Amino acid sequence: MAYDCMNTKHPVVVVGGGFGGVSVARRLLKLDIPVTLISETNYFTFTPLLHEVATGILTSDDITFEYASFFKNRKFAFIRGRVEKVDFDRRVVLVEGAEVSYGDVVIATGASTNFYDLKGREHAFELKSIEDAARVKKRMIELGQGVDGEVNVNVIGGGPTGIELVFEMELFLKQLRRNNPRLRYHLRVIQLGHVILPIFPEGIQRRAMKRLHRRGIAVELETAAERLTAETVETNRGSFVSNLTIMAAGVTPNVDCLKDASEALERGHVEVDVHLRVKGKEHAFALGDVIHLEDVPIPKLAQTATAQAEVVAENIIRARSRRPLRAYAPRVRGLLVSFGYGDGAGRIGPFTITGVPVWYVWRTVYLFKTPGLSNKLRVAFSWTIELFSKRNLAEE
């Protein structure tokens, strides 16, 4: 079977439906370019809020949005399936045995949890999908409501994901304890580096450490997790008791669909030039966590993927009209991190903001990034209800 996606004005095929893929598709559609999006699921997951699903603030319905709910353009097509191969020479994408032809292709396949060489990885939970969030929540409820009444949480990774998660887990367990006075819980962050939140300014790192200590959350710096068991995390500095271990230490690019195009890969990433074009491939672009741009460090953030989408969309138009391409220069507009209800810290331009204001800014930014008006209203409603009610302790 073959899908002809080149029959009207040379459509662009976007492989991957995360922040980068969705952003580039929306921009191209606004420019009247037909787009075919290919994803293994029929919905977009707002991954920065997965920790709020895992800790009962939001439900899975609040952060998963069917593509059809915000892609209403007649020039948009969706194919659900696993991409097995991108054939740059024939300009086709192989999707579960079917060929999808393209005018230009955008690789936006994102990344998965990187376990490095960690032994016993089967004992760790992840936080990369809505299913992961549901599993973390279920495990916390099982432990928090169990007869043993003891929860030992170890979060491996002291970046924004790990820090935001551990703060919300502490509040979630505190609520569980109201219904189970026997409950005792201990939370720990295990960080390989010498600081937490390494991409943030030093002042915010110090503030985060103070907040963690105030909430009774232990932090182990310069500590490498080496082996996991069902009951422990073994590190270079000793062993820690754990009945819930979450891996949040890094990601590895999803490049299985390019395994037959090794010339396009560099260090396991898709190698791109300064125009975000796949090196050596005239009609292929890439963006997001999957790319490598030589000598240019790029933070793995939703905002950088969104900015790259703007450049890719513009360069597809420029290439088709034989105009010079636009160069991409990474720029971080701001950094925000939540420390749980009513608290957080951030850097916007030259300004550092802390406390309740940054928590509201954090929520406002994510609300506006939510695709589609109806979806924005749904998230806003759930957050408003959460302000005046307890967290949802039902399993997802």
pTM here is 0.93
What distance separates the 2 farthest-apart alpha carbons in the chain? 70
Domains of the chain (ranges, CATH numbers): 2-40+81-112+251-320 (3.50.50.60), 115-249 (3.50.50.60)
> 40 pLDDT band (50/70/90 cuts)?
very high
Query: For residue 3, what pLDDT is reported?
Result: 46
Average pLDDT of 333-354?
93
User: Which amino acid is residue 46, in one-letter code?
Assistant: F
pLDDT tens-digit readout, 227-270: 999 999 999 999 999 999 999 998 999 999 998 887 778 788 99
Across all residues in the chain, what is the average pLDDT? 93
Query: For residue 12, what pLDDT is reported?
Result: 98
What does the alpha-carbon distance between residue 376 and residue 345 come to, in Å, rounded to a whole number? 23
Contact (CB, 8 A) for 22 and 109: no
Q: Is pLDDT at 309 greater than 80 in this prediction?
A: yes
pLDDT tens-digit readout, 92-115: 999 999 999 999 999 999 999 999
Strands 104-107 and 284-286: parallel
In the block, tokens 């420019």 appear at 31
User: Which amino acid is residue 248, in one-letter code?
Assistant: A
Least confident of 156-160, 265-269, 326-330: 265-269
DSSP state for residue 107 in the 8-state scheme: E
Least confident of 75-79, 187-191, 299-303: 299-303
